Structures are given as C-alpha cells and as structure tokens.
Amino acid sequence: MNDTTGQIQVAATKGITGWFRSAFAGRKKKEDRVLHPFRVIIEWEIGDQTRSWRFIILILIIALTTMGSLYTALSNISNAIKPNDPAGSFIFLKLFTLSDGTLPSFIVFISFLGPLLGIGLGFDAINSEQNSGTLSRLLAQPIHRDYIINAKFVGYLTVISVMFFALGFLVMGIGIIVTGIPPTPEEFVRIVLFLLLSVVYVAFWLNMSIWFSVRFHQPATSALTGISVWIFFTVFYPLIVNLIIKGISNPVWLANPAYQMFLEKLKLGFMRFAPNVLFSEATGTLLMPTVRSLGPLTMIQLSGTIPGPLPLGQSILLIWPHVTALIAGTVLFFVLAYVPFMRREIRSR
C-alpha cells in the first residue's frame, strides 16, 4: 500500500519535473530556434515601437479617451433604452456609440484619434533609420530590401491590432460587468468587425505616413505633412465641399426635389473622398443596425418600411464600398511608399 503511494508519488513528481523540463526545454528551444530574417525584423520593430515613449503617450491618450467615452456611455445607457425602440435588442452596441453631448462617443474618438495613431507610428519609419545610419547597415545584411518596409508595416499593424482588440474587448468586459447584459452573438460579430475596420482605417493613415517617411528626409517634415493632411480632412474639407456645393447650386432650381436630391448626392460623393467620412459612415452602420441607408432617401422609398434593425449581412453590404475604398487607399499608399524605397540608392546618412 505504502509502496504504491510511493510509486504514485514518484510518478507524479516525475510527471511534474518532466513537465517542467519540457517546458524549460520549450523555452530554451525558442532561444535556439533560427527565425526567418523577416520575422526577426518584425519582432524588432514591435519591440522598438512598444518600448518607445511615443507609443506610451499615444496609448495613454487613447486609453483615457476610451475610459471617458465608456463612462459617459455607461452613465447614460439607462436613459437610452426606450420601451418601443426597434434597436432595443442592441443595447450592448450602445456602449460604443452613446454620448451625452459632453464627451464624444467611442467611435467618434477612434475616427478622430486613429489617424494620429497611424501618423504617430509611421512618420519616421524610414527616414529616421536613414538619418541614424542604421538603414545602410541593415541593407548590408543578407535580406531582401522589401523585407524592411514590409516588416515595418506588418510590425506596426500588429501593434495597432493588438491594441485595438485589447481596448475593444476591455470595453466589452467592463460593459458586461457594469450593465450585466452579455452581448448577443450578432453584437459580438459587429464589434469584432468594427475593430477590424478601425485597424484598416489606422493602417490607411499609417501607410500614408510611411509614404511621407520615404518621401521626406526629415522626420519632422513628414510628421507635419501627415498631421496637415489629417487636419485638412477633418476641418477644412467639409467646409470646402460646402462652399463648392453652394457655389454651383442654382437657386432657381432649388424648388425641384430632384435637383435637391442631386445636390445632396453630389455633396455626399465629394465628402466620401475623405477617409474619416468613409470610416464614420461605415462604423456607424456597423454599430447602429437601425441605419438603413447612407444616402438621402425619398418619402416614396420610405413608405411602407417597417422601422427595424438591418440584419448583419445587409449592414455589411451597405458599407462594402466604404471598406473597399479604405483598403484600396491603404494599398495605394503602400505602393507609393514601396516603389521609391525599392528604387532608391541608399548611401550612409
């Protein structure tokens, strides 16, 4: 009897030590593993970004705004639920969209701060390496040149994705704890899609600033250019579009509803050149299922509709062009950065 317990004990100890040993061996293995140079650079870039002060500052800003908007959403959520609300089944999504007017909602914050994050991460991607003399040293290593720019993009994108998903899930978790209402599967999918879309949106700005970092020799120039483009689209672009529409509209025809419709569509068409408009329309549709159309609707089109939320598939269908445009822009900027980087002759400093 004693013997068997002893044996069991021995076996157990063996099992545990064996497990420890294998765990230890596993760890040791990781250090001994030869990684593909591409992965090495990605790891390096991620480490480089996450250790930098700028990243800590950016993440602090975004975490603070998240907490702020979550707080306003949570304190107003009881007022937002109305007995006959067709969107009543989507209470959870309101965490991301609700605001009492003092602080913007989560999605507004993301559409505002996302560009800052993208620009902040990418503006010195290439030129700082060139200026510090590390680029020519890196190019002398047995790697293909595009590994550098690709790995930077992938590394930064990984950082952004991890950050957004962590924030999004944190908001969800706090929401569950505070409200006591779990998200429905559809709500969960919508939130995940929203987070993915945010990553694409930030990637768009990221690639733009990587392009500037290839184009401009001084990091300060590329940062300022990136920020100017961002300010242009958020502040001045709507003003300019309004001016143009006002300028070209003919007051004689304004009485005609078809003409008004035409003007409205024209304005929307112009506005959609701004990436932030595309993003806020797309996220709005994803997180507010009651949004049924992104353009003007006539009374005839509305007659006979039953107010109710759109199914997920229809919401996605509605924003598909937006997503395509954002991805296309991302790819375009990447190509703009990639081609000159590959062709350029890189000398030391």
Partner 1 sequence: MTEKIIELNGLTKKYGDFTAVDQLNLSIEKGEVFGLLGPNGAGKSTTILMLLGLTEPTEGTVKVCDIDPVSKPVEVKKKVGYLPEDVGFYEKYSGLENLVFTGRLNGLSESKAREKALQLIGRTGLEEHAYKKAGLYSRGMRQRLGLADVLIKDPEVIILDEPILGIDPYGVREFLDMIVKLSKEEKLTVIFSSHHLYQVQQVCNRVGLFVEGKLLAEGDINTLSQKLFGNSPFAIEVSMPRDAERNPDVLERFKQTLLGLDGVLDVKKKDHKMFIECSKDVTADISRTIIQSGFELTYLNRKEYGLDDIYYRYFEGGKNHE
Contacts with partner 1 by CB under 8 A lie at 28, 30-35, 37, 40-41, 44, 48, 51-52, 132-134, 136-144, 345-349
CB of 241 to partner 1, least distance (A): 43
Which of 30/82 has CB closer to partner 1? 30
Which of 90/123 has CB closer to partner 1? 123
Which of 43/85 has CB closer to partner 1? 43
User: Given phi > 0 = left and psi -120 to 50 = alpha, else beta, which region is 101?
Assistant: left
**CA–CA distance, 71 with 103 (Å, rounded to integer):** 9
Q: Hunting for tokens 């929401």 — which residue is that?
A: 175
CB of 314 to partner 1, least distance (A): 49
Dihedrals phi, psi of 77, to nearest 5 degrees:
-65, -30
Which of 35/57 has CB closer to partner 1? 35
**CA–CA distance, 230 with 273 (Å, rounded to integer):** 13
CB of 32 to partner 1, least distance (A): 5
CB of 59 to partner 1, least distance (A): 17
Which of 100/146 has CB closer to partner 1? 146
CB of 58 to partner 1, least distance (A): 17
Contact 190, 312 (CB under 8 A): yes
CB of 176 to partner 1, least distance (A): 39
Listed in sequence order, the residues at least 6 apart from 61 whose beta carbon sits closer than 8 Å to its beta carbon are 113, 116
**CA–CA distance, 41 with 307 (Å, rounded to integer):** 52
Contact 156, 45 (CB under 8 A): yes
- Residue 302: count of CB within 10 angstroms of its CB: 11
Dihedrals phi, psi of 105, to nearest 5 degrees:
-80, 170
In 3D, which of 184, 163, 199, 84 has the Cα closest to residue 175? 184
Which of 265/349 has CB closer to partner 1? 349
Q: Hunting for tokens 């701004």 — which residue is that?
A: 274
**CA–CA distance, 251 with 338 (Å, rounded to integer):** 48
Which of 37/296 has CB closer to partner 1? 37
